[in-house]
Amino acid sequence: MSNYIANIDESNAMALLIEESHQRPVVVDFWADWCGPCKTLMPILEKLAHEYAGAFLLAKVNADEQQNIAAQFGVRSLPTVMVIQNGQPVDGFAGAQPEPQVREMLQKHLPSPWAAAMQEAARLVEAGELQQALTLLRKAYDESNQDLDIALNLAHVLIQCNRFAEAETVLENIRFVDRDARYEQLMADLALKQEASKSPETEALEARLEADPDNLDLRVDLAVQYSADGHHADALEQLMVVLRQNRDHNDGATKKRMLDIIASLGKGDPIAVDYQRKLFGLLY
């Protein structure tokens, strides 16, 4: 038996179907080799078992080989799926179901597979560890197929980190029917932060660069100020402009500054990944 999936026979049925169900839900899949719909459904159940990482046990019962067990549970057609909790069937369905319907059934009996990540992200935000929180939230956002609560939490932390373009993208991807008061508050926060995010020093450097666009040293100074303001994508783009014109600008110091900004964003950060790829393409 793995912690996620087990094959059931009469030697382990009591332990894994009944006793185990007092510790966590057991999802029982009654199937057979000749059953075409069973072969469609089983990969979905196995995928979800791994996704939930042991929050439930997927118990697979070959109904042809284990006819007594199938009869005890009143199985009349295949595939049949039952959810057992505290020794009793509490939910289930007969026939192959698409993944969204299977997920919907599981969600009634299980915590979200991303609940732990959300709790840890909240703790990291409280401790001021925003970059680490972003890493967790981005992963949960992608793996959950852009779950609404995760999306809102991700956008909130992105706004706190001055990652305005990414926050805007996350918010734009929220369905119109889900754009509730929390969404409206985040959009208002985003607009206010964008308006107030540039320091006077940044605005002064922008004006100077506009008047002298060929000044590479001035462009590096603006990149440094952008980075200080939290506008990392803008900073990296300015440094890329410099390096495209002079790959060894300032005896390699500009390239090092760019690598330092990329490193500060953390592994897997989409801005860091994008500009690391651009820099590698330029240099090699």
Domain coordinates in residue numbering, the chain: 5-107, 115-196, 200-283
Q: Which of 82-86, 110-114, 148-152 has the lowest mean pLDDT?
A: 110-114
The token pair that represents 101 in the structure block = 């319907």
Q: Does residue 93 carry a pLDDT above 90?
A: yes
The token pair that represents 246 in the structure block = 């002079």
pLDDT digits (tens, 9 = 90+) for 154-166: 999 999 988 888 8
Contact 259, 265 (CB under 8 A): no
pLDDT digits (tens, 9 = 90+) for 167-226: 999 999 999 999 999 999 999 998 888 777 778 888 899 999 999 999 999 999 999 998
Write down the pLDDT at residue 218.
Answer: 95
Share above pLDDT 70 across residues of the chain, in percent, rounded to a whole number: 100
Binned at pLDDT 50, 70 and 90, residue 254 comes out as very high
Comparing CA positions, the residue from 4, 54, 52, 58 lying closest to residue 29 is 58
Residues with a catalytic annotation lie at 35, 38
pLDDT digits (tens, 9 = 90+) for 52-88: 888 999 999 999 999 999 999 999 999 999 999 999 9
Q: Does domain 200-283 have CATH number 3.40.50.10860?
A: no
DSSP per-residue string spanning 149-218: HHHHHHHHHHHHTT-HHHHHHHHHTS-GGG--HHHHHHHHHHHHHHHH-S-HHHHHHHHHHHH-TT-HHH
Write down the pLDDT at residue 81.
Answer: 98
Q: Do domains 5-107 and 115-196 have the same CATH topology?
A: no
Instruction: Report residue 66: phi and psi, to 5°.
Output: -120, 60
Write down the pLDDT at residue 271.
Answer: 85
| CATH tag, 115-196 | 1.25.40.10
Write down the pLDDT at residue 131.
Answer: 86
Rounded Cα distance, 80 and 74, in Å: 10
Q: Does domain 5-107 have CATH number 3.40.30.10?
A: yes
Q: Which of 26-35, 126-135, 196-205, 244-253 has the lowest mean pLDDT?
A: 196-205
